[in-house]
Structure 1
Amino acid sequence: MPNIASILKAEISRVARKEVRAEIEALKRTSTQHRSSIAALRRQVSALEKELRRTAKGAGRRASTQEPAAEEEGLKRRFSAKRLAAHRVKLGISAAAYGKLVGVSGQTIYHWEQGKARPRAAQLESLASVRNLGAREASALLDAG
């Protein structure tokens, strides 16, 4: 005759496994739903970021076409690293001092002269205004500033 305690223990284990399995299935379904909603939210965020970049890019283009009056007249600014270096030497000032006149750092002027970087449109406008200065005018501006 089988032991009642072992039969009772086996039955309790079976019922417990059945209950745990039912709870785990419910948790799995909930976890799957959460993961799919997270994936959908990530796709939505990605799409919104892409749209934001596109909008910002378009706004930047509109702003850049509205800012410079020279471009409206059809005049585009050109940049030459050699001419920038030659003008700075002609003025007899350091890259840091030339940078103060333009509104950038001396390191930026150095990079422009070396051809490692190129100035942006707004910086080209300030370079154009400095290009019209002579040595006396440049030193007067530096002493005043």
Structure 2
Amino acid sequence: MPNIASILKAEISRVARKEVRAEIETLKKASVAHRASIAELRRQMNVLEKELRRVAKRATRPAATVDPGDEVEARTKRRFSAARLAAHRAKLGLSAAIYGQLVGVSGQTIYHWEQGKARPRAAQLESLATVRELGAREVAERLSA
């Protein structure tokens, strides 16, 4: 009899292990799927947090007060190109210091703008635009005055 009992006990253990293994496999597959979805949700959350920070940063900037007469000027956004600035200065044959006097900044600032180390602010972009519209004679007149 002890032989039958041990055989029965071994068989029950084998069947139980087989059943448990099948259950564990389905749980492992579900766990892998859940981890993948959690990773995807984390990626989406990071993207949304970056977007939120960007929007919040834009919202905290003070809005410029616009007069109704300046509405056209407010809509035209100035663009800046370091290469175009250098080309314009070279075309006029001016040093960076003299060109800076026209714009209202130092010569070093002009060099930094041309090298791309810095970018002009909005007010400086406006003065650059006015200087850009000047011809060589007008520049000479301004410098002599």
TM-score band (shorter)? 0.5 to 0.7
Deviation digits for residues 81-127 of structure 1 (CA, Å, limit 9, x no counterpart): 00000000111110000000000000000100000000000000000
Superposed, 1:75-94 pairs within 5 Å as 75-94=76-95
Deviation digits for residues 23-69 of structure 1 (CA, Å, limit 9, x no counterpart): xxxxxxxxxxxxxxxxxxxxxxxxxxxxxxxxxx95x623x353893
- Give structure 1 regions of 4+ aligned residues with deviation exceeding 4 angstroms: none
- Higher relative CO (Cα under 8 Å, sequence separation at least 6) belongs to 1
1:103 correspondence with 2:142? no
Q: Alpha-carbon deviation of 1:136?
A: 1.3
Superposed, 1:1-145 pairs within 5 Å as 61-62=62-63, 64-66=64-66, 69=70, 70-72=72-74, 74-144=75-145
Please give the root-mean-square deviation of Cα atoms over the aligned residues, in Å. 2.2
Counterpart-to-counterpart distance in 2, 1:75 and 1:65: 15
Counterpart-to-counterpart distance in 2, 1:78 and 1:65: 20
Unaligned runs of 5+ in 2: 1-58
Q: TM-score scaled to structure 2, two decimals?
A: 0.53
> Sequence identity, in percent?
69
> Which residue is 2:5 aligned to?
none
Q: Give the paired residue count.
A: 85
Counterpart-to-counterpart distance in 2, 1:134 and 1:83: 15
